[in-house]
Amino acid sequence: MTPGVREDGPAHRLEAQIRHDLRQDRLEAARDGLRHLSPAKAGRFLGRTEPGSLAVVFRLLEKAVAVEVFAALEPRQQSNLINGLQDEDVQVMFAQLQASSQARLLDDVPAEVAQRLLGTLDSDQRADAGRVLGYPPGSVGRRMGPVLIELRPEMTAGAALRALRDSGVPRRRLRRLVSLPVVGPGHRLLGMVELTVLASAAEGAGVVDLMSTDLETVATTEDDEAAARRLLDEDLLALPVLDETARIVGVLTLADATRILAEEETEDAARSGGSEPLAQPYLSTSVGRLVRSRIVWLMVLAVGATLTVQVLEVFESTLEEMVVLTVFVPLLIGTGGNTGNQAATTVTRALALGEVRAGDTLRVVGREFAVGLSLGAMLGTLGLVVTGLIYSWPIGIVIGLTLLSICTLAASVGSMMPIIARRLGVDPAVFSNPFISTVVDALGLILYFFIARAVLGL
């Protein structure tokens, strides 16, 4: 999968050369090198550039490339850049963005910058941007693209293609034409027809026969991630977006959906690792921002872990009587943590893919209880035997029983957390981690000492 990635290809050598030129302040040479990068490659080059040099590099790009690169950056990167660019340049690039991209950038800059940016738009553009901003954050309305062409059911395939040819859609928007809406009077949506179907059909075939009428649609106010997920699950190329009167007001394409979910993935990956998402490429993020993205969760987790301190305090006398019990503590709670983590990761992923729903709680926890029991039985037996041979059989029994109960507990709790999070409307990846470590660690220790006292008669 990941092995064997070619890392010394010509593209990388070119980039290394450009960086070298930049470090040596040879700006003309750097500008020349940058000219050989496609807009996509240039965008990624920027993503690997230290924050302080972003604007310098960006100004070296050719104007046309710069516009395209800017449009493809994440809002956070765009707002970082704006600070270092001239107002006129910013104005040109901002005006060329799609209204939904403009709205996302406006959300990410300080209020006075947002005002200034809005002021650079003409009244039509400002109306478009305003309309997008009227939708709640995280909704489909904020991420959809415009309706670029509307076909009529009475058209033939040939007529439809001619209409497409005459529509004057700008080159950079052409890709959004993969799936075209067919509307009746009043922009009422009747069906969608894929361009590949249209282009392969006989000239005289009727659009009404080619279109798909068993339609998935989405409302402007729906959650963008859920809509994106639905688009992928139902294997669609585009989802028509309707307003309350069932008129088509926008289109969410597969490309839009992929982008939404990729951002979601990165956020989830960050959160499940216990940090706030960076919203920009790693190497272009400052150390200060990295620290800020992690300190909160680290503190929360540490505070949660003080629960273990209190539990151990309660059992301090037991520990004094048998100090050897201490040496197993990290092993036991570590195993509990790993087991809980396995369960939580599996269920979180299944929730994200829609394989599991909040109504499946009993089914899921029941399975995980059985899984934890089996894992705990296997590990417990191994622990019993190894510890029994090295230390003593009573201690072996304590370790074995503790592993059995900790694994069962951890898998059950670990599987429950993401579902509880979903019901509370909280991100499962965020919710699970601290709760699992805190609950499983503390309860696990309590179990350990109860078992120890019972078996060893302390």
CB of 250 or CB of 281, closer to a second copy: 281
Which residues lie closer than 8 Å to 428 by C-beta, 6 or more apart? Answer: 344, 347, 348, 351, 352, 417, 418, 419, 421, 422
**How many CB atoms lie under 10 A from the CB of residue 41?**
15
Q: Which stretch binds a second copy (CB under 8 A): 78-86, 112-120, 358-366, 450-458?
A: 358-366
CB of 188 or CB of 357, closer to a second copy: 357
Interface with a second copy, residue 328, by CB under 8 A: yes
Q: Is residue 91 left, alpha or beta, with left meaning phi > 0 and alpha meaning psi from -120 to 50? A: alpha
Interface with a second copy, residue 362, by CB under 8 A: no
Interface with a second copy, residue 272, by CB under 8 A: yes
Q: Show contacts with a second copy in window 375-394 (CB under 8 A).
A: 375, 378-379, 382-383
Q: Which stretch binds a second copy (CB under 8 A): 99-107, 182-190, 243-251, 372-380?
A: 372-380
Give the residue, chosen from 269, 381, 389, 392, that forms a contact with a second copy under the rule CB under 8 A: 269
* Shortest Cβ 217–a second copy spacing (Å): 13
Asked if residues 361 and 354 have their Cβ atoms less than 8 Å apart, the reply is: no
* Shortest Cβ 89–a second copy spacing (Å): 23
Interface with a second copy, residue 19, by CB under 8 A: no
DSSP reduced 3-state for 150: coil
Interface with a second copy, residue 242, by CB under 8 A: no
CB of 87 or CB of 320, closer to a second copy: 320
Which residues lie closer than 8 Å to 311 by C-beta, 6 or more apart? Answer: 442, 445, 446
What are the DSSP calls for 398-456, one per residue?
HHHHHHHHHHHHHHHHHHHHHHHHHHHTS-HHHHHHHHHHHHHHHHHHHHHHHHHHHHH
Interface with a second copy, residue 44, by CB under 8 A: yes
CA end-to-end span of the chain? 53
* Shortest Cβ 369–a second copy spacing (Å): 10
Q: Which stretch binds a second copy (CB under 8 A): 19-27, 54-62, 79-87, 218-226?
A: 218-226
* Shortest Cβ 55–a second copy spacing (Å): 19
CA distance 2 to 364: 32
Q: Show contacts with a second copy in window 402-431 (CB under 8 A).
A: 407, 422, 425-428
**How many CB atoms lie under 10 A from the CB of residue 388?**
17
* Helix (H), strand (E) at residue 222: none
| Distance of alpha carbon 228 from the chain centroid | 12
Give the residue, chosen from 27, 345, 388, 394, that forms a contact with a second copy under the rule CB under 8 A: 345
Interface with a second copy, residue 225, by CB under 8 A: yes
Q: Which stretch binds a second copy (CB under 8 A): 101-109, 110-118, 125-133, 328-336?
A: 328-336
CA distance 222 to 225: 9
* Shortest Cβ 120–a second copy spacing (Å): 27
CA distance 250 to 131: 12
Q: Show contacts with a second copy in window 155-184 (CB under 8 A).
A: 161, 164-165, 167, 169, 171, 174-175, 177-178
Give the residue, chosen from 209, 355, 381, 454, that forms a contact with a second copy under the rule CB under 8 A: 355
Q: Show contacts with a second copy in window 296-325 (CB under 8 A).
A: 297-299, 301-302, 305-306, 308-309, 312-313, 316, 319-320, 323-324
Interface with a second copy, residue 290, by CB under 8 A: yes
Give the residue, chosen from 3, 185, 186, 204, that forms a contact with a second copy under the rule CB under 8 A: 3
Q: Which long-range contacts (CB under 8 A, 24 or more apart) does 84-89 make?
A: 84/54, 84/55, 84/56, 84/58, 85/55, 85/58, 85/59, 87/116, 87/120, 89/59
Size of residue set near a second copy by CB under 8 A: 135
CB of 121 or CB of 341, closer to a second copy: 341
* Shortest Cβ 9–a second copy spacing (Å): 10
CA distance 161 to 369: 58
* Shortest Cβ 185–a second copy spacing (Å): 26
| Token pair belonging to 47 | 């993503």
Interface with a second copy, residue 127, by CB under 8 A: no
Which residues lie closer than 8 Å to 203 by C-beta, 6 or more apart? Answer: 156, 157, 158
HEC string of 166-218 equals: HCCCCHHHHHHHHEEEEECHHHEEEEEEEHHHHHHCCCCCEHHHHCECCCCCE
* Shortest Cβ 26–a second copy spacing (Å): 21
Q: Show contacts with a second copy in window 85-114 (CB under 8 A).
A: none
